């Protein structure tokens, strides 16, 4: 993307959160991530998100992350919008990666620095410094699972900061979603940060979702999203119910680990996780395989397993 106006126009729909496939030696499988991206774009996904929480950015060095940004933008080009997570506990890293993301034509995604006792005023000052640096704009990343939960009141202030084009909202509590949808819709783009429970935000008027589990279930997650997007709520609900047993496993065992195990069953390039995460053990993989076979047996899932 060339500028903020284009980012505002193109940031909507369903974005695949592409997992980072690590080899057993810790290396990044660049060819594998390219194949994963081509798969979802070929199916009709609206964009991809690279190096986010489930892309395991905290265990990558700044140089690795920059190299991943460059590689992915070479793969995608201008075909689809790309969110590039530039979040870090060190504002210097966030600054450098945000500038690079914009220069490459992606859109940086920034969370509040996850340091102790940071105040709302300090978070606001941080975004005022970082957000204008990218020529393509900046996405607020509200990620309670790894950082600080931004209140709706603070998000409303952040939405007024120069350069802010979107919000990726990880706090899916009813009150937060209701307030954000009704105060910020039409001002910035609103994304639900989880495919585990996206119907509420979408029914409230959010512009799209980001989805990690679509790395393993790309056809099914896409079909469910398109149905809710097009007003076929009951169909979307039924498709979402189809993979509840998978979601229950993922909540208990961790999404990156579960997604990568499920991807392996389909011959996809999930690779391994990096420490401190651990790949699933044999028993856990067997549980994932059983659930995946059950899902695949339903023709609505859109895929089969050998």
Residues annotated as catalytic are: 141, 168
Phi/psi region, residue 203 (left: phi>0; alpha: psi -120 to 50; beta: rest), is: alpha
Rounded CA separation 19/33 (Å): 8
Rounded CA separation 255/257 (Å): 5
Rounded CA separation 219/222 (Å): 5
Peptide bond into 278 cis (omega under 30): no
The DSSP code sequence of 175-186 is HHHHHHHHHHBT
Query: Within 13 A of 263's CA, how many CA atoms are on the CB side?
Result: 29
How many residues are listed for the chain in this entry? 306
CA 51 from centre of chain: 8
226: its two tokens: 């398109």
User: Residues 102, 108: contact at Cβ < 8 Å?
Assistant: yes
Among the listed residues 153, 146, 76, the one whose alpha carbon sits nearest the alpha carbon of residue 109: 146
Q: What is the DSSP letter of 112?
A: -
Long-range contacts of 60-63 (CB under 8 A, 24+ apart): 60/20, 60/28, 60/274, 62/88, 62/93, 62/96, 62/97
């Amino acid at each position: 993307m060339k500028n903020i106006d284009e980012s505002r126009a193109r940031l909507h729909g369903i974005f695949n959160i592409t997992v980072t496939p690590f080899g057993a030696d810790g290396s990044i499988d660049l060819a594998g991530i390219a194949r994963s991206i081509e798969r979802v774009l070929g199916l009709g996904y609206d964009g991809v998100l690279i190096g986010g929480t489930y892309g395991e950015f905290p265990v990558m060095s700044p140089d690795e992350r920059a190299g991943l940004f460059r590689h992915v933008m070479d793969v995608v080009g201008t075909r689809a919008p790309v969110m590039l997570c530039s979040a870090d506990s060190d504002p210097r890293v966030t600054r450098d990666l945000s500038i690079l993301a914009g220069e490459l034509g992606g859109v940086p995604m920034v969370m509040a620095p996850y340091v102790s006792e940071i105040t709302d005023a300090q978070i606001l000052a941080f975004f005022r410094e970082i957000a204008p640096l990218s020529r393509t704009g900046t996405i607020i990343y509200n990620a309670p699972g790894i950082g600080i939960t931004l209140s709706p009141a603070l998000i409303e202030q952040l939405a007024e900061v120069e350069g802010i084009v979107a919000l990726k909202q990880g706090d899916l509590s009813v009150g937060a979603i209701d307030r954000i949808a009704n105060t910020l819709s039409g001002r910035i783009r609103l994304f639900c940060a989880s495919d585990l429970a996206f119907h509420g935000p979408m029914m409230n008027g959010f512009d799209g979702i980001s989805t990690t589990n679509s790395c393993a279930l790309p056809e099914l997650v896409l079909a469910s999203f398109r149905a809710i997007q097009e007003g076929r709520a009951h169909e979307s609900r039924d498709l979402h119910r189809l993979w509840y047993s998978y979601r229950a496993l993922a909540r208990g065992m961790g999404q990156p680990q579960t997604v990568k195990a499920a991807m392996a069953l389909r011959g996809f390039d999930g690779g391994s996780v990096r420490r401190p995460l651990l790949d699933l053990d044999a028993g856990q993989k067997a549980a994932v395989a059983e659930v995946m076979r059950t899902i695949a047996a339903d023709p609505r899932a859109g895929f089969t397993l050998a």
